[in-house]
Chain A
Amino acid sequence: MDLIGNFFVTLAMTGAATLLALAIGIPFGYFLYSNTRYGIAYEGWLAAAFAAPTVLLYPLFLVIFGRSHATLIAMGFIPGAIPIIIQTRQGLLGVSRTLLNVGRSFNISDRDMFWKIQLPSAVPTIFTGIRIGVMYTLVNIVAIEYLIDFGGLGRIVSEMYFRFDTPGTYASIIAVVFVSVFFYWGFGRIEKWLRPV
């Protein structure tokens, strides 16, 4: 049943969706931070979207993209981008006044302010968003794979069940558990390393 190959399919989908979520989520989070009114206006909506059952949108993407990798990436992107946006804004809002004032007293440009002060000091919080985003992306992609019988690990689970291959079903379920435990553990380690406590 080629668990390794299918693992890499799922991994590639998760990676693509995560990159897309980062590329859109971080700039958008920065936009919401620098335009306070937009930030406040969208804050509640983002929180609602984070709690909403976005996984149910998949028939919509099936209709638009068909049963293709694009559907998987789009479905992974939505739940991944929202926590990244929220946490990017939170992280930038939490940058200490003192650091900002130091930057101002050195009279540095906005660009340097962002790269040398705001971003480094917001990284731990942003990374929390990235960790949550990646987990949600992975989970949603596996769930959609299972639901539409397409793609990597999720499809294998569904296929084994339909073949009445009970040992195969359990084996593929355990594979999924291992993958998500590995992700959970790995990102937890990176987060601890990034957060200077």
Chain B
Amino acid sequence: MAQTGVIQAASVDKTSVEASISRIRLITLIGLIAAWECLALLGSIGVLYNDVVPSAWKIAVAIYGELVSAAFYRDLGITFAEHIVGFIVGSAIAIFLGIAMGTNPLLRKALEPYLNAIGSTPKIIFLPILFLMFGTGIESKMAKGAMSAFFPVVFTTALGMLLINPVLIRVGKSFNLSKSQMIRKIYIPAMVNPIITGLRLGMAITVIGVLVAELKFADGGLGYRLGIYYEQFRIAPMYAIILIIFALAAAANVGMTRLQDRVNRHMAPTTAKGKKARASASGGLGVVATN
């Protein structure tokens, strides 16, 4: 492909930039681990509190210990069940309401101030109410998950409805499509992208919401496990659980982003200001959806 010298020079330059970027990343990682090990060393000779910063090796052993223990998978299963149920319930209600708000300006104007207000409060503060309503078992965490998932999804869905390219709707109207055809052929394809964005955000927030609820009050789940380790001052397993949770959350996020990219490739220009909608939804610029 690179037949002329100029292009070759440009591509060499590009690879050297990429190389230096990955070098920076590598050096940063090594530096962080080295700094961590220094802290651990200081701890073990008694300068810092002992064992507050366990060495990376101990954490790696603890991660392995978690991954081979049956109790860990039981807790993982509980958290997963709470997360999935909460996520599905919360986002289903949110998509329904978001579409209703997008198509009905009166409803949107009436509901938006309240949703914005509740959307920016820490949802965890409603946990006592959920405990009163659903008890302290797994049900209240599902409710908490649904509550966390609801807000980002409803905001992005309503915004997505508003930003559908009017040309698409006019095309549908000029072909004299029936209402069901409009929904199937125009609205649903145009809404896939904003809804997936909302679901990605909602998924990440639901993880936090469920785990935080478990930390407060639970008899099972990863958050509960984390709390127990903290109370027993078993620091290495505590870090192990935190790292595992971070890895799982990151994996879920990457998966949803991949899905979104795939969808984007098939149907790019669906919104009038597609870029703006995506920026405000994914960067949280429009609203602050909190855990």
Q: B5-13, B99-107, B121-129, B159-167: which lies at the A interface?
A: B121-129
* Residue among B20, B125, B216, B246 having the largest count of chain A Cβ atoms under 10 Å: B125
Chain A interface residue count, CB cutoff 8 Å, equals 46
- Residue A114, interface by CB 8 Å: no
Chain A residues 21 to 77 lying within 8 A of chain B, measured CB to CB, are 37-38, 40-42, 48, 51-53, 55-57, 59-60, 62-64
Contact of A184 among B120, B204, B245 (CB under 8 A): B120
Q: A82-117: which residues lie under 8 A (CB-CB) from chain B?
A: 83, 86
Determine if A128 is an interface residue (Cβ-Cβ < 8 Å). yes
B residues less than 8 Å from A59 (CB atoms)? 226-227, 229-230, 238, 242
**Also in contact, A60 and B118, with CB within 8 A (given A51-B249, A142-B125):** no
Residue interface bits A142-169, CB-to-B below 8 A is 1, else 0: 1100110000001001101100001001
Chain B residues, CB < 8 A from A56: 208, 211-212, 215, 223, 226, 242, 245-246
Chain B residues, CB < 8 A from A78: none
Residues of A within 8 A of B285 (CB): 128, 132
State the CA gap A78–B126 with chains docked (Å): 23
How far does the Cβ of B214 sit from chain A's closest Cβ, in whole Å? Answer: 10
Judged by a CB distance under 8 angstroms, whether B131 is at the interface is yes
Q: Closest approach, in angstroms, between the C-beta of B25 and any C-beta of chain A?
A: 5
Contact of B239 among A60, A139, A166, A183 (CB under 8 A): A60
Decide if B207 is an interface residue (CB 8 Å cutoff): yes
A143 to B123 CA separation, bound complex (whole angstroms): 8
B250 touching A38, Cβ below 8 Å: no
Q: In the complex, A60 Cα to B116 Cα: how many Å?
A: 32
A12 within 8 A of B: no
**Contact of B122 with A180 in the complex, beta carbons under 8 Å:** yes
**Given A63, A143, A158, A160, which contacts B122 in the complex, CB threshold below 8 Å?**
A143
A180 touches B120 (CB 8 A): yes
Interface centre among A37, A53, A60, A140 (most CB of B within 10 A): A53
Q: Which residues of A sit under 8 angstroms from B20, Cβ to Cβ? A: 37
- Answer yes or no: A176 CB below 8 A from chain B CBs: yes
A4 at the interface (CB under 8 A from B): no
Q: Flag if A53 contacts B120 (CB, 8 Å).
A: no
Residues of chain A within 8 A (CB-CB) of B283 are 86
In the complex, chain B residues whose CB is within 8 Å of the CB of A119: none
CA distance A180 to B129 in the complex (A): 18
Please state if A176 and B122 are interface contacts (CB–CB under 8 Å): yes
Q: Is the CB of A184 within 8 A of B125?
A: no
Interface residue B55 (Cβ < 8 Å from any Cβ of A): no
Determine whether B97 belongs to the interface, using a CB cutoff of 8 Å to chain A: no
Q: Is the Cβ of B288 less than 8 Å from the Cβ of A60?
A: no
Asked if B45 lies at the interface with its beta carbon under 8 angstroms from chain A, I say: no
The contact of B24 among A41, A83, A135, A146, by CB within 8 Å, is A41
| Residues in B whose Cβ lies below 8 Å from that of A1 | none
B21 in complex: contacting residue of A41, A62, A63, CB < 8 Å: A41
Q: Is A3 an interface residue (CB 8 A)?
A: no
Q: Are B132 and A53 in contact (CB under 8 A)?
A: no
Asked if B291 and A143 make an inter-chain contact with CB atoms under 8 angstroms apart, the answer reads yes
CB of B110 within 8 Å of the partner chain: no
Contacts known (A48-B250, A146-B127); A135 close to B290, Cβ less than 8 A: yes
> Is A11 part of the binding interface, using a Cβ–Cβ cutoff of 8 Å?
no
Given contacts A56-B226, A169-B128, A169-B129, contact A51 B121 (CB under 8 A): no
Is A177 engaged at the interface, CB distance under 8 Å to the other chain?
Answer: yes
Is B77 part of the contact surface with A, judged by Cβ < 8 Å?
no
In the complex, given contacts A139-B288, A142-B122, A142-B124, what are 4 additional A-B residue pairs having Cβ atoms less than 8 angstroms apart? Answer: A52-B246, A53-B208, A63-B235, A146-B216
Sorted nearest first, the 7 A-B pairs with minimum C-beta distance are: A161-B128, A59-B230, A139-B122, A184-B120, A41-B24, A180-B121, A135-B288
A to B CB contacts below 8 Å, 20 in the list: A37-B20, A40-B21, A41-B25, A48-B253, A51-B204, A53-B208, A56-B242, A56-B245, A57-B242, A59-B230, A60-B242, A63-B233, A63-B238, A132-B288, A135-B120, A136-B290, A139-B121, A147-B216, A177-B125, A184-B120
